[in-house]
Chains A and B, each alone.
Chain A
Amino acid sequence: MTALGKLVRTTVFKLLAMYLVLFVLFAGFVIGYVGWNTRQVIDGQIRDTIEAEIRGLSEQYRVGGIRRLVGIIERRTREPGASLYLVTTFAGEFLAGNVDSVPFEILDRPGVHETFYSPGDELDRRSREAMAHVFVLPGGFRLLVGRDLAERERLNEVTREALLISLGLVTVLACVGGWFIMGRVLKRVDAMTETARTIMAGDLGGRLAVAGTGDELDRLALNLNAMLERINELMTGMKEVSDNIAHDLKTPLTRLRNRAEEALRNATTTEEYARAIEDTIEESDNLISVFNALLTIARLEAGNAPANGAPFDLAETARSVAELYEAVADEALTPVVVAIAPDLVLPVAGNRELAGQALANLVDNALKYGSSGDEKKAIVISARRERDVDGRETAVIEVADRGPGIPEADREHVLERFARLESSRTRPGFGLGLSLVAAVVRMHDGRLTLADNAPGLRVVLALPVAAVSDTIARPPAQGEAATEHLT
């Protein structure tokens, strides 16, 4: 596209062109209207003057005859700025006046005419425009009284000039102003386009320039920048995930491959082969669950999580998760104490499934890491309603253990993916549990706090309470006829 073509296509240009046409039409109309009206007024005045003189002169004629009329006219023609006079006989012979010649035929037609004449001036014999009234006096004499129209024509001239000048001026101003505005706007739009291009080319750190004037382009730039910021965050998240996946899945994959290879090399009996294959399947199952956890976290963090908004009872979720883990805890000789009032209801809008998984991860963690040495101490799960610092009502679930806890400096770090404290590297787990909890809490617009239980770890999970508390969707009891009796 040529520079001119590009210019013509811009919105600013089209707007300017439209306004230019509008202004020209408007100016033309105003000036034309004023001019036409002025002309009407002037014509009227001239006509009145002529009428008055005709009346006066014919009166003189009636009183003093042709001789008196000629005398008066000769005297009047010598006054400066005089009207035009001509008195002729019936046959058109000149008797008196300051008009040298007029078109012969008008003298035969009484009434008002616009005509040309030559003044009786020796120096200037050019034909001039005039308005003339021809009057037939008794006795056949013709009396012509007229006014030169030069003044009216001059006024026309002035009007025409005014029109041309104003049109020219409007056009020039529009062009100059338009050029200036277009230059500014196009420059900024071009800069934005350029930035967008570099961003598309891969430089996600680029941001649109903001002029700071708060105009519409600034607002647009600010919003686009916010959008870019969000995209950048998501991209960074994606990159982190893929880095972590690459890093943490390669180890078990390598182990998997090594085992299979070793079995191929060394196994001789069917039993040995079978064991190798069983190990391989177990290892792949682990891989699959790591992968699933990663995908869930990534999806939650990408913000397209299934927060379907149906309210569920978080207290019930906590009770059922506690009950799910109670048996394991008993086995591990770590009692789980559920300190949740039986009538407590904590309606939360969101996803019961994910909340349940988050709580399960917390209890699972507490069971894994919450006991120091041989001494087994209880894990306490409690629930309450509480106003948070922003004054929002929140449903709070606390899972507290009496293990070694997490040093304050590490608390932020353990929420990251694959984060595992050095001290726990040797224990089972993938380091995804807490980051999944964090992601679920973020999705529910809640808050996750890791606190000191002195000694031990106290995880506080606070989700905003849903407005409607009476429409809690109970989990469907599949194939269950008499649940009410049980729960």
Chain B
Amino acid sequence: MPMRILIIEDDPDAAGYITKALREAGHLADHAPDGLEGYALAREGDYDVLVVDRMLPKLDGLSVIRSLREQKVETPVLILSALGQVDDRVKGLRAGGDDYLAKPYAFSELLARVEALARRRVGPAGEATVYRVGDLELDRLSHNVTRAGEEILLQPREFRLLEYLMRNAGQVVTRTMLLENVWDYHFDPQTNVIDVHVSRLRSKIDKGYATPLIHTIRGAGYMVRDGAR
């Protein structure tokens, strides 16, 4: 399902690149070159996600978000910023942003985060008690995981990892998104720590079954998806 995305970014190159890439990914992308125009568009247009640069002419990004939230515009916002420090992130989220991405970023990372945000808005399925992908079931209350009716025993962290992947089923989830949402750390681990965790989880979930459910998306991250579909 294509999403309507508004990019508020003053750098024409960066904006052009994101807009083009989002359209290639099958979404509808609009662009506003400054804070005021962005604010006006965001208020009027029915967007699924806003991508807002922090430093904007006329009205800075955080003020745009704050004003929108005051006007009860609850569209999810991904903040883009050259400032990647912890306190900047906290400031951004406090202003009403929903996610924060430091520049420079990989487009795959941006896309994955934008799609995750949009999905959170579109489908209240994220709050369902039981997640189902193919024959895999995860019960968030009883912490039971079964595949084809057979119970799978998971460590607490493996459970959270699978839960996050399944909540975003059909979506690419990047390594940093996993680190942020499952471990609550925002730094960039230099070794492949996340990959090893995912491959362990995979060995429990997919081993011995004909259709793999956890897929590696090259150059981007992971995705839980019913391969049969």
Instruction: Show the binding face of A for B, using Cβ within 8 Å.
Output: 278, 281, 284-285, 288-289, 292, 295-296, 299, 306, 308, 320, 323-325, 327-328, 330-331, 351, 353-354, 356-357, 360, 364, 367-368, 428-429, 433, 475-482, 485-487
A325 pairs with B84, CB closer than 8 A: no
Distance, CA A451 to CA B86, complexed state (A): 30
Distance, CA A338 to CA B26, complexed state (A): 47
Distance, CA A308 to CA B90, complexed state (A): 11
Q: Does residue B44 face the partner (Cβ distance < 8 Å to A)?
A: no
Q: Does residue B204 face the partner (Cβ distance < 8 Å to A)?
A: no
Q: Which A residues lie within 8 Å of B71 (CB)?
A: none
Write the nearest CB–CB distance from A32 to chain B, whole angstroms.
71
Distance, CA A353 to CA B160, complexed state (A): 20
Q: Which of B85, B104, B156, B196 contacts A296 (CB 8 A)?
A: B85
Q: Which A residues lie within 8 Å of B191 (CB)?
A: 325, 328, 364, 367-368
Q: Which of A353, A476, A480, A482 contacts B86 (CB 8 A)?
A: A353
A299 pairs with B85, CB closer than 8 A: yes
Q: Which A residues lie within 8 Å of B85 (CB)?
A: 295-296, 299, 306
B157 pairs with A323, CB closer than 8 A: yes
Interface segment among B4-12, B31-39, B54-62, B176-184: the answer is: B176-184
**30 A-B contact pairs sorted by A residue (CB < 8 Å):** A281-B219, A292-B102, A306-B85, A306-B87, A308-B87, A308-B90, A323-B157, A324-B183, A324-B185, A325-B193, A327-B196, A327-B197, A328-B193, A351-B86, A353-B185, A353-B186, A354-B86, A360-B189, A364-B190, A428-B190, A433-B190, A475-B184, A478-B184, A479-B181, A480-B160, A480-B163, A482-B143, A485-B156, A486-B143, A486-B156
Q: Which of A306, A324, A353, A485 contacts B189 (CB 8 A)?
A: A324
Q: Which A residues lie within 8 Å of B156 (CB)?
A: 485-487
B140 pairs with A482, CB closer than 8 A: yes
Distance, CA A305 to CA B157, complexed state (A): 31
Write the nearest CB–CB distance from B161 to chain A, whole angstroms.
10
Taking A292-B84, A306-B86, A354-B86 as contacts, is the C-beta distance between A324 and B193 under 8 angstroms? Answer: yes
Write the nearest CB–CB distance from B159 to chain A, whole angstroms.
7
Residues facing A in B145-179 (CB within 8 A) are: 156-157, 159-160, 163-164, 167
Taking A308-B87, A351-B86 as contacts, is the C-beta distance between A478 and B185 under 8 angstroms? Answer: no
Write the nearest CB–CB distance from B121 to chain A, whole angstroms.
14
Residue of A nearest to B159 (CB): A486
B187 pairs with A481, CB closer than 8 A: no
Q: Which B residues lie within 8 Å of A295 (CB)?
A: 84-85
Q: Which B residues lie within 8 Å of A428 (CB)?
A: 190
- Give me the 10 closest cross-chain CB pairs, A-B, nearest first: A306-B87, A486-B156, A327-B196, A475-B184, A357-B187, A353-B86, A328-B196, A327-B197, A328-B193, A478-B181
Q: Which B residues lie within 8 Å of A278 (CB)?
A: 219
Instruction: Show the binding face of B for A, using Cβ within 8 Å.
Output: 84-87, 90, 102, 104, 106, 126, 140-141, 143, 156-157, 159-160, 163-164, 167, 180-181, 183-193, 196-197, 200, 219
Write the nearest CB–CB distance from B92 to chain A, whole angstroms.
13
Distance, CA A429 to CA B143, complexed state (A): 39
Residue of A nearest to B179 (CB): A324
Residue of B nearest to A285 (CB): B106
> Which of B86, B164, B186 counts the most A-chain CB atoms under 10 A from its CB?
B86
Q: Which A residues lie within 8 Å of B160 (CB)?
A: 480, 486
B141 pairs with A481, CB closer than 8 A: yes
Q: Which A residues lie within 8 Å of B183 (CB)?
A: 320, 324
Write the nearest CB–CB distance from A392 to chain B, whole angstroms.
25
A328 pairs with B181, CB closer than 8 A: no
Q: Which A residues lie within 8 Å of B186 (CB)?
A: 353
Distance, CA A364 to CA B190, complexed state (A): 8
Q: Which B residues lie within 8 Å of A320 (CB)?
A: 183-185
A360 pairs with B200, CB closer than 8 A: no
Q: Which A residues lie within 8 Å of B163 (CB)?
A: 480
Q: Which B residues lie within 8 Å of A281 (CB)?
A: 106, 219
Distance, CA A391 to CA B192, complexed state (A): 40
Q: Which A residues lie within 8 Å of B187 (CB)?
A: 353, 356-357, 360
Write the nearest CB–CB distance from B123 to chain A, whole angstroms.
14
Q: Which A residues lie within 8 Å of B190 (CB)?
A: 289, 364, 428-429, 433
Q: Which of B141, B184, B193 contacts A327 (CB 8 A)?
A: B193
